[in-house]
C-alpha cells in the first residue's frame, strides 16, 4: 500500500511521447510545479494536455509550451500566455476551448464512469459544431463526452504514503476530479505524512485513486495577476 516514490522524475518515468495528461490546479494556484519541471527535463513530445488554463509564459504549462512539447491543449482559459497565443495563431498548436463548467463536468463524469451528459452551455455557438443536440423540456442541449487521460498529475497540500490527499481552498477546483479521471494518477504533495495522521473526514481524494505520491519541494506559488488598490 506504500505508494511513495523518490521524486518527480521517478513518478513520471513511464510517460511517453503522445500521452494525454491532465494537470491539476486553478490558474497558477495548486499546479504540480515539480512534475511540470520533470516533464521539461524528460523532453517528451506531442503531448495532449488537459488543464483549466495554459499557465503563463515562464511558469506552469507555459514552460512546456516554450519547449514545444505540447501538441494539443484542452482548456477553458488561456488569456495570460503570449506564447500560447502565438502558437495558436500560427497553427503550431491545436486548441480546444471548453466552457469552464463543461470542462469540469467532463472530467467529473470520467471519474464517475458516465460516458456523456447533456448541457445547454455552448449551444448555438462554434462549440456546438459536430456535436449531437437534443431538446429537453423545450430547451436545446449539447451532448458532451467524458474526458479521460493516460496520466492525471495533481498537487496536494498534504498526502499520506497510501495516497490519501488533502487540498487547500481553490486548489480543489479541478484537482480532486482529475485525480479520478486518469489511468494513472500521480500526486506531488507539500507535506507527506504517515498513515493515520490525516483526519478521514478531511480527505478529498481517497488513496484508491492514487498510484504514486512524492514529497515536492521549492514551490514558488506565484500569483497570476496581482491587482492592488492605491491608497
DSSP letter assigned to residue 47: E
Contacts by residues 16-19 (CB-CB < 8 Å, ≥ 24 positions apart): 16/44, 17/44, 17/45, 17/46, 17/47, 18/45, 18/46, 18/47, 18/48, 18/71, 19/44, 19/47, 19/48, 19/150, 19/151
Q: What is the mean pLDDT of residues 25-35?
A: 92
3-state secondary structure (DSSP) of residue 187? strand
Query: What does the domain layout of the chain look like in residue ranges?
Result: 8-215
Q: Give the up-direction half-sphere exposure of residue 48: CA atoms within 13 A in the CB hemisphere.
A: 12
Per-residue pLDDT at 231 exceeds 80: no
Neighbours of 222 (CB within 10 A): 16
Q: What is the mean pLDDT of residues 98-103?
A: 95
168 grid coordinates? 487547500
Distance CA(36)–CA(8), nearest Å, equals: 9
181-220 pLDDT per residue, tens:
999 999 999 999 999 999 999 999 999 999 999 999 999 8
**Contact assessment for residue 150 and residue 183, using Cβ atoms and an 8 Å cutoff:** yes
Q: Give the up-direction half-sphere exposure of residue 107: CA atoms within 13 A in the CB hemisphere.
A: 30
**Contact assessment for residue 51 and residue 25, using Cβ atoms and an 8 Å cutoff:** yes
Per-residue pLDDT at 229 exceeds 90: no
53 grid coordinates? 488554463
121-175 pLDDT per residue, tens:
999 999 999 999 999 999 999 999 999 999 999 999 999 999 999 999 988 889 9
For the domain covering 8-215, report its CATH number: 3.40.1080.10
**Contact assessment for residue 223 and residue 188, using Cβ atoms and an 8 Å cutoff:** no
pLDDT at 198: 97
pLDDT at 80: 78
Q: Is the dihedral of CA 84, 87, 90, 91 positive or negative?
A: negative
What is the value of pTM for the model shown? Answer: 0.93
pLDDT at 1: 80
Q: What is the mean pLDDT of residues 217-230?
A: 81
Amino acid at each position: 500500500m506504500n505508494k511513495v516514490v523518490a521524486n518527480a522524475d521517478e513518478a513520471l518515468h513511464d510517460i511517453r511521447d503522445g500521452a494525454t495528461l491532465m494537470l491539476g490546479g486553478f490558474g497558477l494556484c495548486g499546479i504540480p510545479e515539480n512534475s511540470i519541471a520533470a516533464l521539461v527535463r524528460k523532453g517528451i513530445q506531442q503531448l495532449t494536455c488537459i488543464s483549466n488554463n495554459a499557465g503563463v509564459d515562464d511558469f506552469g504549462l507555459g514552460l512546456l509550451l516554450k519547449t514545444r512539447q505540447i501538441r494539443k491543449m484542452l482548456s477553458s482559459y488561456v488569456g495570460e500566455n503570449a506564447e500560447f497565443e502565438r502558437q495558436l495563431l500560427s497553427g503550431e498548436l491545436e486548441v480546444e476551448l471548453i466552457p469552464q463548467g463543461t470542462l469540469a463536468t467532463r472530467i467529473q463524469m470520467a471519474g464517475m464512469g458516465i460516458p456523456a451528459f447533456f448541457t445547454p452551455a455552448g449551444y448555438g455557438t462554434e462549440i456546438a459544431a459536430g456535436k449531437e443536440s437534443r431538446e429537453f423540456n423545450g430547451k436545446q442541449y449539447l451532448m458532451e463526452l467524458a474526458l479521460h487521460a493516460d496520466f492525471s498529475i495533481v498537487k496536494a497540500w498534504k498526502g499520506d504514503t497510501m495516497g490519501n490527499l488533502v487540498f487547500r481552498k481553490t486548489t480543489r477546483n479541478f484537482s480532486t476530479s482529475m485525480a479520478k479521471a486518469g489511468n494513472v494518477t500521480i500526486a506531488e504533495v507539500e507535506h507527506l505524512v504517515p498513515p493515520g495522521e490525516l483526519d478521514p473526514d478531511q480527505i478529498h481524494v481517497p488513496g484508491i485513486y492514487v498510484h504514486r505520491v512524492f514529497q515536492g519541494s521549492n514551490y514558488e506559488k506565484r500569483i497570476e495577476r496581482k491587482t492592488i488598490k492605491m491608497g
